[in-house]
Structure 1
Amino acid sequence: MNKRQTPVFNIGSSSMLVIFIVLCLVTFATLSLASAKNDHDYSQRIADRRTAYYNACNTAETMLDTIDAELDDIYTNRHDDDDYFTSVKYALPALEMDNVTVSMNFTLEEPVVNLRIPVDDTQELDVTLTLSAPEATGDGYYRITQWQTVNTAEWSGDNSLHLMDINGTDSK
């Protein structure tokens, strides 16, 4: 009565276990690689956006330096207070740099100069300066009253997802 006992795990089941473990490792490695690539792409987009923003800020600072020099020149060569704002009104539009839009509003109590510098295709840096009266230039020739990015792309409120066509017709 020699009975052979068959092992609980035979050679085939251990091979299947190894194959399953290898497939799990390959799947996790693929998911990790995809996640790392997405993180890299996202970081690159953020870096590009920040670089574009700071390039626009540098352009704005350069423009402010030019405006400062021009306002100083106008202030030192003015004849009276009315002459100051008239000279500013005609001098500042001539200072336009590449990609910088200068607009002015002298109808307010304190004149305003607005600079618009493109950041990218969808945003602009909007800088608003409030000019000081000639007698109040001890604090500077202007105050920066706004420094912000503004969205210039047209917003589309359609956030719907085309998941399934129930009626059998294409609803797009």
Structure 2
Amino acid sequence: MKKKSPSLVHSGLSLVIVIFIVLCLAVFSALSLVTARSDYVLAQQEARRSLEVQAAENQAQQWLGDMDDALARIYASSETVADCLNALSESAVLAEYYTDPGSAGESSSAGESSTAGEFSDTQALGTLFAAFSISEDQQLSVALSLCWPAEERFYTVAKWLVENTGTWEGDQSIPVYVEETETVSQ
């Protein structure tokens, strides 16, 4: 009797399936490594940016505390709005940051002629403005509108905003579509 030889077709098909599965696993593992690496780089960039923003926020909070102290001294020594306006414009601490209402286009004569009781809390005595650098292209801008103090409120925060200071330049180096024109001679 003749012996039956084992069929190679069955083992060949299973070998092809195993090779295909191993190739799929290798491709998926390579894709996972590339994705994990890009996620890690992105997380590092976001952590650095977050630390820069937090540092600028801390500087702004420190500045705000310094302004609170200076304004408390000025308001404590001022009996009228006119005294307060004079003290604000002459303050060495606030000189770098202070803009009086007259230079901002507002009329300061109404505030100067009023008494403290008549001066509205919503009428600004001027503005304090400061910018804190976050990166080369960003800054934290802070603006305070000064008010005659009512219930221990010296100012309202008019602006607390992260702004872009650089200009964006798009990359135009890749030609997406180039139309070829032929000259037709007659």
- TM-score normalised by length of structure 2: 0.71
The whole-number CA distance in structure 1 between the counterparts of 2:13 and 2:90 is 89
CA contact (8 A) 1:119 1:125 kept: yes
Partner in structure 2 of residue 113 of structure 1: 128
Unaligned runs of 5+ in 1: 97-101, 168-172
The aligned residue for residue 52 of structure 2 is 52
Query: Which of residues 166, 170, 175 is equivalent to 1:153?
Result: 166
- Determine whether 1:144 maps to 2:162: no
- Which position in structure 1 is the counterpart of 2:146? 131
Q: How many residue pairs are counted as aligned between the two chains? A: 161
Distance 1:164 1:145 in 2: 48
Q: Which has the higher helix share?
A: 1
Aligned to 1:21, the other structure's residue is in SS state: helix
The CA distance in 2 between the partners of 1:158 and 1:78, in whole Å, is 57
In the superposition, relative to structure 1, how do residues 77 and 103 fare at CA in structure 2: closer, same or farther (>3 Å)? Answer: closer
Structure 2 residue aligned with 1:104, among 81, 99, 102? 99
Q: Name the CA distance, whole Å, in 2 between partners of 1:67 and 1:147.
A: 15
CA distance in 2, matches of 1:114, 1:92: 15
Q: 3-state DSSP class of the match of 1:132?
A: strand
Alignment CA distance shift 1:139-1:77 (3 Å): closer
Question: Which consecutive residues of structure 2, in runs of 5 or more, have no partner in the other structure?
Answer: 107-122, 181-186
* C-alpha separation in 2, matches of 1:103 and 1:161: 48
Q: TM-score, normalised by structure 1?
A: 0.76
Q: Which has the larger radius of gyration?
A: 2
